[in-house]
Amino acid sequence: MLKRIFSLLLILGCVVSYAQETNIDSLKKLLAVADSDSARMYLNMKIGSAIGMNDPGLAAPYMKTALELARKTGKKRLEAKLLNSLGGLHFYLGDYNEALRLAISSEKLMEALNDKDGLSDCYNGIALIYSKNNQYDMELKYFKKSLALRMELKDSLGISQSLTNLGGYYEDIEDYDSCLIYYNESLKYAKLVKDVYGEALLLNNIGMIYLKKDNFRAGEDFLLRSIAIKKEIDDLLGVAESNLNLGDLYIALKRYPEAEKHVTYALESSQKLNALELIRDCYQSLSLIHKNRNDINGAFKYLELFMQYKDSVSTEERTRAITEMNARFDSEKKEKEIELLNKDKEKQAALTAEEHKRKNLIIGSVAGGLLLVIIFSVFLYNRFKITQKQKNIIEKQKALVEQKKEEIEKQKELVEEKQKEILDSIHYARRIQRSLMTSEKYITRILSKYKN
Protein backbone atom coordinates (compact mmCIF):
# COMPACT_ATOMS: atom_id res chain seq x y z
CA MET A 1 0.00 0.00 0.00
CA LEU A 2 2.76 2.49 0.86
CA LYS A 3 4.36 1.83 -2.51
CA ARG A 4 1.12 2.88 -4.18
CA ILE A 5 0.71 5.98 -2.00
CA PHE A 6 4.24 7.00 -2.92
CA SER A 7 3.48 6.56 -6.61
CA LEU A 8 0.37 8.67 -6.22
CA LEU A 9 2.50 11.48 -4.83
CA LEU A 10 4.60 11.20 -7.98
CA ILE A 11 1.49 11.61 -10.11
CA LEU A 12 0.49 14.68 -8.16
CA GLY A 13 3.99 16.03 -8.82
CA CYS A 14 5.47 19.05 -7.16
CA VAL A 15 2.10 20.76 -6.74
CA VAL A 16 1.10 18.43 -3.89
CA SER A 17 3.58 18.03 -1.05
CA TYR A 18 2.83 15.40 1.57
CA ALA A 19 5.26 16.98 4.03
CA GLN A 20 3.60 20.39 3.97
CA GLU A 21 1.03 21.28 6.58
CA THR A 22 -1.11 24.22 5.57
CA ASN A 23 -3.69 26.17 7.47
CA ILE A 24 -6.64 25.52 5.16
CA ASP A 25 -9.02 27.85 6.99
CA SER A 26 -6.60 30.75 6.61
CA LEU A 27 -6.19 30.01 2.91
CA LYS A 28 -9.96 29.94 2.43
CA LYS A 29 -10.29 33.32 4.12
CA LEU A 30 -7.61 34.74 1.83
CA LEU A 31 -9.37 33.21 -1.18
CA ALA A 32 -12.63 34.91 -0.22
CA VAL A 33 -11.01 38.37 -0.47
CA ALA A 34 -8.54 37.68 -3.33
CA ASP A 35 -8.83 40.42 -5.97
CA SER A 36 -6.80 38.98 -8.86
CA ASP A 37 -6.88 35.85 -11.02
CA SER A 38 -3.28 35.01 -10.12
CA ALA A 39 -3.97 35.18 -6.39
CA ARG A 40 -7.12 33.06 -6.75
CA MET A 41 -5.22 30.56 -8.88
CA TYR A 42 -2.42 30.04 -6.35
CA LEU A 43 -4.79 29.92 -3.39
CA ASN A 44 -7.03 27.32 -5.06
CA MET A 45 -3.91 25.32 -5.92
CA LYS A 46 -2.62 25.46 -2.33
CA ILE A 47 -5.98 24.46 -0.83
CA GLY A 48 -6.30 21.58 -3.28
CA SER A 49 -2.74 20.49 -2.49
CA ALA A 50 -3.31 20.65 1.25
CA ILE A 51 -6.39 18.43 1.23
CA GLY A 52 -5.55 16.29 -1.82
CA MET A 53 -4.31 13.18 -0.03
CA ASN A 54 -7.00 13.20 2.68
CA ASP A 55 -9.99 14.08 0.52
CA PRO A 56 -9.28 13.98 -3.24
CA GLY A 57 -12.96 14.42 -4.05
CA LEU A 58 -13.03 17.71 -2.17
CA ALA A 59 -9.64 18.78 -3.55
CA ALA A 60 -10.57 18.25 -7.23
CA PRO A 61 -12.85 21.35 -7.58
CA TYR A 62 -10.08 23.59 -6.20
CA MET A 63 -7.59 22.11 -8.66
CA LYS A 64 -10.04 22.52 -11.54
CA THR A 65 -10.55 26.17 -10.66
CA ALA A 66 -6.78 26.70 -10.47
CA LEU A 67 -6.42 24.99 -13.86
CA GLU A 68 -9.02 27.28 -15.48
CA LEU A 69 -7.29 30.34 -14.04
CA ALA A 70 -3.87 29.11 -15.21
CA ARG A 71 -5.25 28.84 -18.75
CA LYS A 72 -6.88 32.24 -18.45
CA THR A 73 -3.65 33.89 -17.30
CA GLY A 74 -1.51 32.03 -19.86
CA LYS A 75 0.67 30.17 -17.32
CA LYS A 76 1.39 27.11 -19.47
CA ARG A 77 3.95 25.45 -17.20
CA LEU A 78 1.62 25.64 -14.23
CA GLU A 79 -1.26 24.48 -16.41
CA ALA A 80 0.72 21.36 -17.31
CA LYS A 81 1.53 20.61 -13.67
CA LEU A 82 -2.10 21.15 -12.62
CA LEU A 83 -3.30 18.76 -15.34
CA ASN A 84 -0.97 16.10 -13.96
CA SER A 85 -2.02 16.80 -10.35
CA LEU A 86 -5.69 16.67 -11.27
CA GLY A 87 -5.01 13.38 -13.03
CA GLY A 88 -3.50 12.10 -9.77
CA LEU A 89 -6.66 13.02 -7.87
CA HIS A 90 -8.85 11.19 -10.39
CA PHE A 91 -6.54 8.20 -10.14
CA TYR A 92 -7.03 8.18 -6.38
CA LEU A 93 -10.80 8.39 -6.89
CA GLY A 94 -10.69 5.38 -9.22
CA ASP A 95 -11.60 7.30 -12.39
CA TYR A 96 -8.74 5.90 -14.46
CA ASN A 97 -10.10 7.00 -17.85
CA GLU A 98 -10.17 10.63 -16.77
CA ALA A 99 -6.82 10.27 -15.00
CA LEU A 100 -5.22 9.00 -18.21
CA ARG A 101 -6.81 11.73 -20.33
CA LEU A 102 -5.47 14.44 -18.03
CA ALA A 103 -2.02 12.82 -17.84
CA ILE A 104 -1.79 12.70 -21.64
CA SER A 105 -2.85 16.37 -21.87
CA SER A 106 -0.17 17.24 -19.33
CA GLU A 107 2.46 15.21 -21.23
CA LYS A 108 1.67 17.00 -24.49
CA LEU A 109 2.06 20.41 -22.86
CA MET A 110 5.24 19.36 -21.03
CA GLU A 111 6.78 18.23 -24.31
CA ALA A 112 5.92 21.58 -25.95
CA LEU A 113 7.55 23.38 -23.01
CA ASN A 114 10.52 20.96 -22.96
CA ASP A 115 9.86 20.51 -19.24
CA LYS A 116 11.76 17.26 -18.59
CA ASP A 117 11.14 17.32 -14.86
CA GLY A 118 7.38 17.60 -15.34
CA LEU A 119 7.47 15.11 -18.18
CA SER A 120 9.10 12.55 -15.90
CA ASP A 121 6.23 12.96 -13.44
CA CYS A 122 3.75 12.47 -16.31
CA TYR A 123 5.48 9.24 -17.31
CA ASN A 124 5.24 7.95 -13.74
CA GLY A 125 1.55 8.79 -13.63
CA ILE A 126 0.79 7.17 -16.99
CA ALA A 127 2.73 4.04 -15.99
CA LEU A 128 0.82 3.72 -12.74
CA ILE A 129 -2.53 4.10 -14.52
CA TYR A 130 -1.55 1.30 -16.92
CA SER A 131 -0.65 -0.89 -13.95
CA LYS A 132 -4.22 -0.60 -12.70
CA ASN A 133 -5.36 -2.30 -15.88
CA ASN A 134 -2.62 -4.97 -15.60
CA GLN A 135 -0.92 -3.61 -18.73
CA TYR A 136 2.54 -4.38 -17.40
CA ASP A 137 4.46 -3.86 -20.64
CA MET A 138 3.19 -0.28 -20.94
CA GLU A 139 3.82 0.26 -17.22
CA LEU A 140 7.46 -0.85 -17.53
CA LYS A 141 7.97 1.27 -20.68
CA TYR A 142 6.89 4.50 -19.01
CA PHE A 143 8.67 3.87 -15.72
CA LYS A 144 11.91 3.38 -17.68
CA LYS A 145 11.29 6.57 -19.69
CA SER A 146 10.82 8.44 -16.41
CA LEU A 147 14.05 7.02 -14.98
CA ALA A 148 15.96 7.96 -18.15
CA LEU A 149 14.86 11.59 -17.82
CA ARG A 150 15.80 11.65 -14.11
CA MET A 151 19.23 10.28 -14.96
CA GLU A 152 19.63 12.92 -17.67
CA LEU A 153 18.68 15.64 -15.17
CA LYS A 154 20.97 14.08 -12.50
CA ASP A 155 18.07 14.39 -10.07
CA SER A 156 19.01 12.02 -7.23
CA LEU A 157 15.64 12.27 -5.46
CA GLY A 158 13.79 11.72 -8.74
CA ILE A 159 16.08 8.78 -9.57
CA SER A 160 15.28 7.22 -6.20
CA GLN A 161 11.55 7.62 -6.79
CA SER A 162 11.75 6.16 -10.31
CA LEU A 163 13.80 3.19 -9.07
CA THR A 164 11.19 2.61 -6.35
CA ASN A 165 8.45 2.51 -8.98
CA LEU A 166 10.43 0.04 -11.08
CA GLY A 167 10.93 -2.12 -8.00
CA GLY A 168 7.17 -2.00 -7.48
CA TYR A 169 6.63 -3.15 -11.04
CA TYR A 170 8.83 -6.21 -10.53
CA GLU A 171 7.10 -6.89 -7.22
CA ASP A 172 3.74 -6.90 -9.04
CA ILE A 173 4.95 -9.52 -11.53
CA GLU A 174 6.58 -11.48 -8.65
CA ASP A 175 10.14 -11.14 -9.96
CA TYR A 176 11.49 -10.61 -6.45
CA ASP A 177 15.20 -10.76 -7.31
CA SER A 178 14.86 -7.88 -9.80
CA CYS A 179 12.64 -6.08 -7.33
CA LEU A 180 15.33 -6.20 -4.63
CA ILE A 181 17.93 -4.84 -7.06
CA TYR A 182 15.83 -1.75 -7.80
CA TYR A 183 14.71 -1.22 -4.18
CA ASN A 184 18.29 -1.44 -2.85
CA GLU A 185 19.54 0.91 -5.57
CA SER A 186 16.74 3.34 -4.74
CA LEU A 187 17.66 3.12 -1.04
CA LYS A 188 21.20 4.33 -1.84
CA TYR A 189 19.88 7.45 -3.55
CA ALA A 190 17.33 8.09 -0.76
CA LYS A 191 20.14 8.05 1.82
CA LEU A 192 22.28 10.24 -0.44
CA VAL A 193 19.66 13.02 -0.51
CA LYS A 194 18.56 12.36 3.09
CA ASP A 195 15.03 11.44 2.02
CA VAL A 196 14.07 9.94 5.39
CA TYR A 197 10.48 9.22 4.38
CA GLY A 198 11.63 7.41 1.22
CA GLU A 199 14.23 5.49 3.20
CA ALA A 200 11.64 4.24 5.70
CA LEU A 201 9.33 3.24 2.85
CA LEU A 202 12.06 1.32 1.06
CA LEU A 203 13.17 -0.49 4.23
CA ASN A 204 9.56 -1.62 4.69
CA ASN A 205 9.25 -2.74 1.07
CA ILE A 206 12.56 -4.63 1.14
CA GLY A 207 11.51 -6.34 4.37
CA MET A 208 8.27 -7.50 2.72
CA ILE A 209 10.13 -8.87 -0.30
CA TYR A 210 12.38 -10.90 2.01
CA LEU A 211 9.23 -12.16 3.74
CA LYS A 212 7.88 -13.31 0.35
CA LYS A 213 11.22 -15.01 -0.31
CA ASP A 214 10.96 -16.78 3.10
CA ASN A 215 14.10 -15.00 4.31
CA PHE A 216 12.51 -14.13 7.64
CA ARG A 217 15.62 -12.98 9.47
CA ALA A 218 16.43 -10.35 6.82
CA GLY A 219 12.77 -9.40 6.60
CA GLU A 220 12.54 -8.84 10.36
CA ASP A 221 15.69 -6.72 10.34
CA PHE A 222 14.45 -4.38 7.57
CA LEU A 223 10.97 -4.02 9.05
CA LEU A 224 12.34 -3.12 12.49
CA ARG A 225 14.62 -0.50 10.92
CA SER A 226 11.66 0.91 9.00
CA ILE A 227 9.55 1.18 12.16
CA ALA A 228 12.33 2.96 14.03
CA ILE A 229 12.64 5.67 11.32
CA LYS A 230 8.88 6.07 10.96
CA LYS A 231 8.54 6.67 14.68
CA GLU A 232 11.21 9.37 14.48
CA ILE A 233 9.39 11.22 11.68
CA ASP A 234 5.98 10.64 13.33
CA ASP A 235 4.62 8.65 10.39
CA LEU A 236 1.75 7.03 12.31
CA LEU A 237 0.21 5.26 9.33
CA GLY A 238 3.59 3.94 8.22
CA VAL A 239 4.34 2.66 11.75
CA ALA A 240 0.98 0.88 11.80
CA GLU A 241 1.55 -0.77 8.42
CA SER A 242 5.09 -1.90 9.23
CA ASN A 243 3.87 -3.37 12.53
CA LEU A 244 1.21 -5.32 10.63
CA ASN A 245 3.87 -6.56 8.20
CA LEU A 246 6.07 -7.57 11.11
CA GLY A 247 3.09 -9.38 12.66
CA ASP A 248 2.57 -11.30 9.41
CA LEU A 249 6.25 -12.26 9.46
CA TYR A 250 5.89 -13.65 13.00
CA ILE A 251 2.78 -15.58 11.92
CA ALA A 252 4.91 -17.25 9.23
CA LEU A 253 7.46 -18.09 11.96
CA LYS A 254 4.63 -19.37 14.25
CA ARG A 255 5.64 -16.86 16.92
CA TYR A 256 2.02 -16.06 17.70
CA PRO A 257 2.36 -13.98 20.91
CA GLU A 258 4.74 -11.57 19.14
CA ALA A 259 2.54 -11.59 16.05
CA GLU A 260 -0.58 -10.72 18.07
CA LYS A 261 1.27 -7.91 19.86
CA HIS A 262 2.33 -6.17 16.63
CA VAL A 263 -0.96 -6.74 14.78
CA THR A 264 -2.97 -5.43 17.75
CA TYR A 265 -0.78 -2.32 17.85
CA ALA A 266 -1.34 -1.86 14.11
CA LEU A 267 -5.11 -2.29 14.55
CA GLU A 268 -5.37 0.26 17.36
CA SER A 269 -3.32 2.80 15.37
CA SER A 270 -5.26 2.25 12.14
CA GLN A 271 -8.57 2.63 14.00
CA LYS A 272 -7.44 6.03 15.31
CA LEU A 273 -6.48 7.01 11.75
CA ASN A 274 -9.66 5.47 10.27
CA ALA A 275 -7.49 3.58 7.77
CA LEU A 276 -10.11 1.09 6.53
CA GLU A 277 -7.81 -1.06 4.40
CA LEU A 278 -5.32 -1.44 7.23
CA ILE A 279 -8.10 -2.26 9.73
CA ARG A 280 -9.38 -4.92 7.33
CA ASP A 281 -5.92 -6.48 6.96
CA CYS A 282 -5.36 -6.44 10.73
CA TYR A 283 -8.58 -8.39 11.31
CA GLN A 284 -7.51 -10.92 8.70
CA SER A 285 -4.14 -11.44 10.42
CA LEU A 286 -5.78 -11.72 13.86
CA SER A 287 -8.18 -14.31 12.50
CA LEU A 288 -5.24 -16.31 11.18
CA ILE A 289 -3.41 -16.07 14.52
CA HIS A 290 -6.42 -17.42 16.45
CA LYS A 291 -7.00 -20.14 13.85
CA ASN A 292 -3.41 -21.36 14.21
CA ARG A 293 -3.91 -21.38 18.00
CA ASN A 294 -7.02 -23.55 17.51
CA ASP A 295 -9.14 -20.76 18.98
CA ILE A 296 -12.10 -21.27 16.63
CA ASN A 297 -14.32 -18.68 18.33
CA GLY A 298 -11.63 -16.00 18.15
CA ALA A 299 -10.82 -16.88 14.55
CA PHE A 300 -14.48 -16.68 13.56
CA LYS A 301 -14.95 -13.37 15.40
CA TYR A 302 -12.08 -11.67 13.55
CA LEU A 303 -13.04 -13.31 10.27
CA GLU A 304 -16.50 -11.74 10.55
CA LEU A 305 -14.91 -8.33 11.22
CA PHE A 306 -12.58 -8.84 8.27
CA MET A 307 -15.53 -9.57 5.96
CA GLN A 308 -17.37 -6.46 7.18
CA TYR A 309 -14.41 -4.21 6.45
CA LYS A 310 -13.71 -6.01 3.20
CA ASP A 311 -17.18 -5.02 2.00
CA SER A 312 -16.63 -1.43 3.17
CA VAL A 313 -13.30 -1.13 1.39
CA SER A 314 -14.56 -2.73 -1.81
CA THR A 315 -17.19 0.00 -2.16
CA GLU A 316 -14.39 2.58 -2.14
CA GLU A 317 -12.06 0.69 -4.46
CA ARG A 318 -13.52 1.04 -7.93
CA THR A 319 -11.80 -0.73 -10.81
CA ARG A 320 -12.72 0.68 -14.20
CA ALA A 321 -11.49 -0.56 -17.54
CA ILE A 322 -9.30 1.79 -19.55
CA THR A 323 -8.32 1.58 -23.23
CA GLU A 324 -4.67 1.25 -24.08
CA MET A 325 -3.17 4.56 -25.12
CA ASN A 326 0.28 5.48 -26.22
CA ALA A 327 1.49 8.54 -24.34
CA ARG A 328 3.60 9.80 -27.25
CA PHE A 329 0.98 10.31 -29.93
CA ASP A 330 0.99 13.38 -32.11
CA SER A 331 -1.76 15.96 -31.70
CA GLU A 332 -4.05 14.54 -34.38
CA LYS A 333 -3.85 11.00 -32.97
CA LYS A 334 -4.60 12.22 -29.48
CA GLU A 335 -7.63 14.15 -30.69
CA LYS A 336 -8.93 10.97 -32.31
CA GLU A 337 -8.40 9.06 -29.09
CA ILE A 338 -10.21 11.73 -27.11
CA GLU A 339 -12.99 11.58 -29.69
CA LEU A 340 -13.18 7.83 -29.13
CA LEU A 341 -13.44 8.45 -25.42
CA ASN A 342 -16.24 10.96 -26.03
CA LYS A 343 -18.05 8.46 -28.24
CA ASP A 344 -17.69 5.87 -25.53
CA LYS A 345 -19.18 8.35 -23.08
CA GLU A 346 -22.02 9.01 -25.52
CA LYS A 347 -22.54 5.27 -25.86
CA GLN A 348 -22.59 4.96 -22.10
CA ALA A 349 -25.02 7.87 -21.96
CA ALA A 350 -27.22 6.15 -24.58
CA LEU A 351 -27.09 2.92 -22.59
CA THR A 352 -27.94 4.86 -19.47
CA ALA A 353 -30.84 6.54 -21.30
CA GLU A 354 -32.04 3.15 -22.57
CA GLU A 355 -31.76 1.75 -19.06
CA HIS A 356 -33.63 4.78 -17.77
CA LYS A 357 -36.30 4.23 -20.45
CA ARG A 358 -36.57 0.57 -19.51
CA LYS A 359 -36.88 1.46 -15.84
CA ASN A 360 -39.57 4.02 -16.69
CA LEU A 361 -41.40 1.34 -18.70
CA ILE A 362 -41.21 -1.05 -15.78
CA ILE A 363 -42.34 1.67 -13.39
CA GLY A 364 -45.18 2.58 -15.82
CA SER A 365 -46.23 -1.05 -16.08
CA VAL A 366 -46.19 -1.47 -12.32
CA ALA A 367 -48.08 1.80 -11.89
CA GLY A 368 -50.62 0.74 -14.54
CA GLY A 369 -51.08 -2.61 -12.88
CA LEU A 370 -51.43 -0.93 -9.53
CA LEU A 371 -54.01 1.46 -11.01
CA LEU A 372 -56.01 -1.49 -12.40
CA VAL A 373 -55.86 -3.14 -9.00
CA ILE A 374 -57.10 0.06 -7.39
CA ILE A 375 -59.93 0.44 -9.97
CA PHE A 376 -60.91 -3.19 -9.52
CA SER A 377 -60.77 -2.77 -5.76
CA VAL A 378 -62.99 0.32 -5.98
CA PHE A 379 -65.41 -1.61 -8.23
CA LEU A 380 -65.51 -4.51 -5.78
CA TYR A 381 -65.96 -2.08 -2.91
CA ASN A 382 -68.89 -0.39 -4.69
CA ARG A 383 -70.44 -3.75 -5.45
CA PHE A 384 -69.99 -4.68 -1.85
CA LYS A 385 -71.66 -1.45 -0.73
CA ILE A 386 -74.59 -2.00 -3.16
CA THR A 387 -74.94 -5.62 -2.04
CA GLN A 388 -74.78 -4.48 1.56
CA LYS A 389 -77.40 -1.84 0.87
CA GLN A 390 -79.68 -4.36 -0.85
CA LYS A 391 -79.18 -6.74 2.00
CA ASN A 392 -80.15 -4.01 4.43
CA ILE A 393 -83.29 -3.28 2.38
CA ILE A 394 -84.20 -6.97 2.33
CA GLU A 395 -83.60 -7.17 6.05
CA LYS A 396 -85.84 -4.16 6.60
CA GLN A 397 -88.53 -5.65 4.35
CA LYS A 398 -88.28 -8.92 6.21
CA ALA A 399 -88.63 -7.01 9.45
CA LEU A 400 -91.71 -5.23 8.08
CA VAL A 401 -93.19 -8.56 6.94
CA GLU A 402 -92.55 -10.00 10.38
CA GLN A 403 -94.12 -6.93 11.93
CA LYS A 404 -97.18 -7.31 9.64
CA LYS A 405 -97.39 -10.95 10.54
CA GLU A 406 -97.35 -10.02 14.21
CA GLU A 407 -100.07 -7.41 13.63
CA ILE A 408 -102.19 -9.92 11.65
CA GLU A 409 -101.70 -12.48 14.40
CA LYS A 410 -102.77 -9.91 16.97
CA GLN A 411 -105.83 -8.97 14.85
CA LYS A 412 -106.62 -12.64 14.37
CA GLU A 413 -106.39 -13.18 18.10
CA LEU A 414 -108.59 -10.14 18.65
CA VAL A 415 -111.17 -11.40 16.13
CA GLU A 416 -111.09 -14.83 17.67
CA GLU A 417 -111.53 -13.27 21.08
CA LYS A 418 -114.47 -11.20 19.83
CA GLN A 419 -115.97 -14.26 18.16
CA LYS A 420 -115.61 -16.14 21.43
CA GLU A 421 -117.31 -13.35 23.29
CA ILE A 422 -120.15 -13.33 20.75
CA LEU A 423 -120.50 -17.08 20.91
CA ASP A 424 -120.44 -16.96 24.67
CA SER A 425 -123.17 -14.31 24.58
CA ILE A 426 -125.24 -16.43 22.19
CA HIS A 427 -124.82 -19.51 24.38
CA TYR A 428 -125.75 -17.49 27.41
CA ALA A 429 -128.85 -16.13 25.66
CA ARG A 430 -129.85 -19.62 24.67
CA ARG A 431 -129.51 -20.82 28.26
CA ILE A 432 -131.68 -17.95 29.39
CA GLN A 433 -134.18 -18.72 26.66
CA ARG A 434 -134.20 -22.34 27.61
CA SER A 435 -134.61 -21.34 31.20
CA LEU A 436 -137.54 -19.10 30.37
CA MET A 437 -139.09 -21.81 28.24
CA THR A 438 -138.89 -24.22 31.17
CA SER A 439 -140.54 -21.70 33.46
CA GLU A 440 -143.42 -21.21 31.03
CA LYS A 441 -144.10 -24.93 30.83
CA TYR A 442 -143.94 -25.13 34.59
CA ILE A 443 -146.42 -22.31 35.02
CA THR A 444 -148.76 -23.77 32.38
CA ARG A 445 -148.70 -27.11 34.16
CA ILE A 446 -149.48 -25.47 37.48
CA LEU A 447 -152.25 -23.46 35.99
CA SER A 448 -153.65 -26.59 34.41
CA LYS A 449 -153.77 -28.20 37.83
CA TYR A 450 -155.68 -25.32 39.23
CA LYS A 451 -158.11 -25.45 36.36
CA ASN A 452 -158.90 -29.02 37.12
- Predicted pLDDT of residue 127: 93
Contacts for 194-200 with beta carbons within 8 Å, 24 or more apart?
A: 195/157, 195/160, 196/229, 196/232, 196/233, 197/18, 197/19, 197/233, 197/235, 198/6, 198/157, 198/160, 198/161, 198/164, 199/229, 200/226, 200/229, 200/230, 200/233, 200/235, 200/238
Give 248's pLDDT tier (boundaries 50, 70, 90). Answer: very high
Rounded Cα–Cα distance for residues 100 and 91 (Å): 8
At how many degrees (to 10) do helices 216-232 and 196-212 cross?
160
pLDDT at 327 > cutoff 50:
no
**Percent of all residues in the chain with a pLDDT value above 90, rounded to a whole number:** 52
Residue 103 and residue 138 in contact, taking contact as beta carbons nearer than 8 Å: no
Rounded Cα–Cα distance for residues 73 and 19 (Å): 29
- Predicted pLDDT of residue 430: 52
Q: Which residue has the higher pLDDT, 237 or 369?
A: 237
Q: Which residue has the higher pLDDT, 140 or 314?
A: 140
Q: Which CATH number does 1-133 carry? A: 1.25.40.10
- Predicted pLDDT of residue 224: 96
pLDDT at 440 > cutoff 70:
no
- Predicted pLDDT of residue 57: 87
Give 395's pLDDT tier (boundaries 50, 70, 90). Answer: confident
Kindly list the distances between the CA atom of residue 220 and the CA atoms of 73, 167, 204, 251, 412, in Å, as whole numbers in the listed order. 53, 20, 10, 12, 119
For residue range 115-164, list pLDDT tens digits in order. Answer: 999 999 899 999 999 888 788 899 999 999 999 999 999 999 999 999 99
pLDDT at 354 > cutoff 80:
no
- Predicted pLDDT of residue 417: 67
Give 2's pLDDT tier (boundaries 50, 70, 90). Answer: very low
pLDDT at 321 > cutoff 50:
no
- Predicted pLDDT of residue 281: 94
The residues spanned by each domain of the chain are 1-133
Mean pLDDT check: name the lowest of 45-49, 98-102, 329-333, 405-409: 329-333
Give 374's pLDDT tier (boundaries 50, 70, 90). Answer: confident
SS (H, E, C) the chain: CHHHHHHHHHHHHHHCCCCCCCCHHHHHHHHHHCCCHHHHHHHHHHHHHHHCCCCHHHHHHHHHHHHHHHHHCCCHHHHHHHHHHHHHHHHHHCCHHHHHHHHHHHHHHHHHHCCHHHHHHHHHHHHHHHHHCCCHHHHHHHHHHHHHHHHHHCCHHHHHHHHHHHHHHHHHCCCHHHHHHHHHHHHHHHHHCCCHHHHHHHHHHHHHHHHHCCCHHHHHHHHHHHHHHHHHCCCHHHHHHHHHHHHHHHHHCCCHHHHHHHHHHHHHHHHHHCCHHHHHHHHHHHHHHHHHCCCHHHHHHHHHHHHHHHHHHHHHCCCCCCCCCCCCCCHHHHHHHHHHHHHHHHHHHHHHHHHHHHHHHHHHHHHHHHHHHHHHHHHHHHHHHHHHHHHHHHHHHHHHHHHHHHHHHHHHHHHHHHHHHHHHHHHHHHHHHHHHHHHHHHHHHHHHHHHC
Q: Mean pLDDT for the chain?
A: 80
Q: Which residue has the higher pLDDT, 244 or 338?
A: 244
In the predicted model, what is the mean pLDDT of residues 404-426?
A: 65
Half-sphere exposure of 304 (CA within 13 A, CB side): 5
Backbone angles phi, psi at 187, to 5 degrees: -60, -35
Q: Which residue has the higher pLDDT, 402 or 345?
A: 402
